[in-house]
Amino acid sequence: MQMNDMTMTRRALLGGVAVTALCLALPLGASEAFAQEMPEAQGDVDMAAALKPGALPEMALGDEKAPVQVIEYMSMTCPHCANFHNKTFDTIKTKYIDTGKVRFIIREFPFDPVATAAFMLARCNPQDPKQLSTPAQYFPMVSMLFKQQRAWAAPANGDVRGSLLQSVKLAGYSQQSFEACLTNQKLLDDVNAVTKRGADEFGVNSTPTFLINGKKYSGDMSVESMSKLFDSLL
């Protein structure tokens, strides 16, 4: 998908959230077959440049001076991103992030209006959508949305907007704060800027894409494969 197709306007965002239902088939056979192998890098990146903050505050976990630095570009409607966060991330967090070995940053790379809306809702403070969320709010929201991805991104009744609202009510959103967040033009512009920077400066064109200590890796990773990669860097 080309960059100009991914940059959302507010009209496209709201229209897309109202009517878009997504197919979330997840062909995992190939990734499972090679789950134990060391991931292969797709190229080099300037990690010092990549670690400089962009338009939005970084959503990061772990020691800022950890020996392994990870940036994940992801989309909230990406099934492979959901698979990574549902099956791999929590174990990696316990094993590497919480022990000071890895710093892990999430950055937005939505491919569609529904993913953009979900990211905006994760970025807003549900009680005061004029304020941005903290990492302590953002990461649980992302986790909850990935666990419920099919329910809100591809609901049986096709009502994506209503299903997304019901999901985020669990995090404290009301109808009013939901609308206020999704009509925040500055936040939409900033999410677009994060996405554009990832594509233009670091060659991100698919999700999930991981930038790890100066190397770029594309695709889902199992606990075993990501552990092998991290262990090789420690």
d(CA 40, CA 229): 9
* 88 contacts: CB under 8 Å, gap ≥ 6: 220, 221, 222, 223, 226
Helices then strands, each counted (H, E), the chain: 13, 8
- Cα radius of gyration rounded to whole Å, the chain: 17
Q: Which pLDDT score is estimated for 163?
A: 94
Strand 59-61 versus strand 102-108 pairing type? antiparallel
* Helix, strand, coil shares, percent, the chain, to 5: 50, 15, 35
d(CA 2, CA 215): 23
Q: Which pLDDT score is estimated for 227?
A: 96
Q: Which pLDDT score is estimated for 53?
A: 92
Q: Which pLDDT score is estimated for 194?
A: 97
Inter-CA distances, 219 with 80, 83, 187, 210, 211, Å? 7, 11, 27, 8, 11
Residue numbers of the chain with a pLDDT score lower than 50? 1-4, 23, 25-35
Q: Which pLDDT score is estimated for 18?
A: 55
- pTM of the full structure: 0.88
Q: Encoding tokens for residue 104?
A: 């892990």
